[in-house]
Structure 1
């Protein structure tokens, strides 16, 4: 099986250059293969979901767009706030963002990022809790993110309840922990962990990590948007 560390980034870059060869497939640990619509990463402001619109309206001052993808949110925010820095682990995605006009792009994990200044907002969308990978990482990871925030800053993050994927007798602690693998043009990425957290569990974990939490939006598909603020 041919391996590529940045299958996702290659697909985004090909789409950006109008040479994309569909499909971009997403293999899942819970069974089945999904066809990823690459165009979702290139949406304009008019194509945003209500959840995304709500999240962007909450942003002000200095914003760190975590897992910025092809820069859809950063490009919108650049015209609204003082400064946006887009951080993304995919080298290909970072190249796309720079070519699309994102002014400040950092190719790094947010958990290895030590910026010169603090942020008013960390924006973590498109199932933002996925960046934590597992419940066992959640509290320490959230405490690291706190170091990136100004004292009165906030984390704007979304997730969803995927308990419907699990049998009733499965261990509750494992619900929401999944793994994915991208496939594009015969190349496969490494498997990577991803975490979905329902809103009750998110509020519980946030409190343990020293954050207040407020659910500011919910939709009919069990997706929600939360604002987390460090408790002083």
Structure 2
């Protein structure tokens, strides 16, 4: 008996949903990416148009953020390679990593010279110490630190492959800067479970595919600073949208440095 006969919603197949979405967008110019949270909430992401955007189409804080990039760059969560390509054009030596094999394939095809399948949790084993001058986590990819428990270890791993005076450019958002009841209720349940309010348990879906469930963290600047406090990184600055360009509020890019 199949799903249509029982009247139940079809069960998604576990797989590289992000990679499939990027491939579809590359081939057709259309593709939807859904974000499913463990409380049943489902939202539509910015989608392929965001992942493939040229520099002059980027949100203003993203453009300001890569002006802070220096030297050799580790682009964490590269997606289709939008940041890596922009930085290559500026003459940077960029290594782009993503856990999605499909994303890495698309990034390579689009011209990213060094794109690899590497999990952020494994960077210390994947690269030599002191390799990178800048670590870049655009697209809210500070969230890849996972949870309050895993964040310090992952930040220390990134510091291990960074130079002594490196910069971490990390985009995130203040999760409580919202009046959406669904999100506020989720934040409160997180607090009851002893988790940070912006600690998401989620998966990416595209058509019949869904990634495995994973942890993703939205962190306000004070939370980012606290998570980094037991690591070589220190939050030294934030880049926030110009007035009127972030109507929901809460978006920012944190600038962290080593060697303090």
TM-score normalised by L of structure 1: 0.91
User: What does residue 4 of structure 2 align with?
Assistant: none
Separation of aligned partners in 2, 1:169 and 1:92:
35
Unaligned runs of 5+ in 1: none
- How many Å apart are 1:92 and its aligned residue? 0.5
Indicate conservation of the 8 Å contact 1:124/1:156, yes or no.
yes
Distance 1:199 1:169 in 2: 19
**Cα RMSD after superposing both structures:** 1.9
Structure 2: give runs of 5+ residues left out of the alignment.
1-10
Q: Show the counterpart of 2:220.
A: 198
Cα offsets for 1:153-199 (capped at 9, x unmatched)? 11110111112422485527431101222222222222221101111
Q: Which residue of 2 aligns with 1:115?
A: 127
Aligned partner of 2:154 among 123, 141, 150? 141
The answer on 1:217 being equivalent to 2:239 is yes
For the pair shown, the structure with the greater C-alpha radius of gyration is 2
CA distance in 2, matches of 1:75, 1:218: 23
Q: Which protein is richer in strand relative to its size?
A: 1
1:28 and 2:37 aligned: yes
Deviation at 1:2, TM superposition (A): 3.5
Question: SS where residue 229 of structure 2 aligns?
Answer: helix
The counterpart of 2:58, out of the listed 45, 48, 52, is 48
CA distance in 2, matches of 1:169, 1:19: 39
Q: Which among 145, 149, 152 is matched to residue 165 of structure 2?
A: 152
Residue 229 of structure 2 aligns with which residue? Answer: 207
Question: Runs in 1 of length 4+ with deviation above 6 angstroms?
Answer: none
Q: Name the SS for the 2:21 alignment partner.
A: helix
Aligned length: 231
